[in-house]
Every structure is written in structure tokens, then in C-alpha cells.
Amino acid sequence: MAKAPSADETVYLLEMADGTKKKVTVPSSWKVTFGPLIPPGRGQPSHGEVSLRFYEGKEKQRACFTGVKAFRDMSINMQEEVVHTRQETYRKEGDGDGEAVIAEVHVKEWRDPDKPQEKKKEEPGKLVKLVRSGALTER
């Protein structure tokens, strides 16, 4: 298990081009740059894949990661919207036994992508109104 960063350290989450994620802990005083592996020279275009570099001071390069698609400081609170879809069966009241209507329920929630998610117990959705076509509408 990784140790918790001290007050003078910063943890970065790197999202790599191959879909993997990495965490890097560096001193908070280090400078971070994000750009082409080989910066443009005099009249020359830049080339190479995008890289994330860490510098100690102005000149001492400490690390260079290529294939980085995105990165962020982990102290930034972030949430993402997640939509869960499931089917539920309702009984339409009427003459005789009634009719079964299958409705697709979409439940949206905000969650922290950095925290492990626990499996939630499925709860039935709230049927607001059942219209003749079988579609659900909200009031």
C-alpha cells in the first residue's frame, strides 16, 4: 500500500494513452510541464508524442513520462456523472388480470472516480405516471 503524501508533496494522476492510470508523488516545489517530447527549435516544428516532465529547480529534469493523455493534481476534488440503466416490470391495472409493462429506468448519480465503489442494492424506481403508450412521464 502506498504511503500518504506529506504536506510538502503533491500526488498526480496520469491517464496514459493506452488506458492505464498511474499515480506519481513528487515534492510540491517541483515544476511540471506538459507538451511535445521534442520541443520546437529555431524554425523547426515540434515532434514526438506528448510528455509530462518534472523539474527540480529551473534546469534539473527529474522525470519524463511519454504517452500521457491527461493529468491532474489529486488534491483537486472531482466527481463524474454515472448513469445506471435497468428494466423494471409494472402491472397496469385494468379489466381482468392487468397487463405487464416493462419500463427502462435511468438513474443518474455523481460519484468520486478516485474512491472504490461499493455495489449498491437495487431499489425499485418510482413510477410517476404510466401513460397509454407504455412510456413513463414525470410530473
Q: Could you state, in order of their start, the residue ranges of all structural domains in the chain?
A: 9-38+47-73, 80-111
On whether the pTM is more than 0.75, the answer is no
Position with higher pLDDT, 51 vs 113: 51
Average pLDDT over residues 112-120: 76
Percent of the chain at pLDDT above 90?
Answer: 34
For the segment 93-119, the average pLDDT, to the nearest whole number, is 77
Instruction: Please report the pLDDT score of residue 77 as a whole number.
Output: 87
Nearest to 17 by CA among 54, 53, 47, 51: 51
Average pLDDT in the 97-119 region? 79
CA pair distance 79, 76, nearest whole angstrom? 10
The contacts of residue 78 (CB under 8 Å, 6+ apart) are 72, 112, 113, 114
Q: Is the pLDDT of residue 118 over 60?
A: yes
pLDDT band, residue 21 (cuts 50/70/90):
very high
Which range among 2-11, 40-49, 56-65, 121-130 shows the weakest confidence by mean pLDDT? 121-130
Listed residue (49, 48, 47, 53) closest to 65, CA to CA: 53
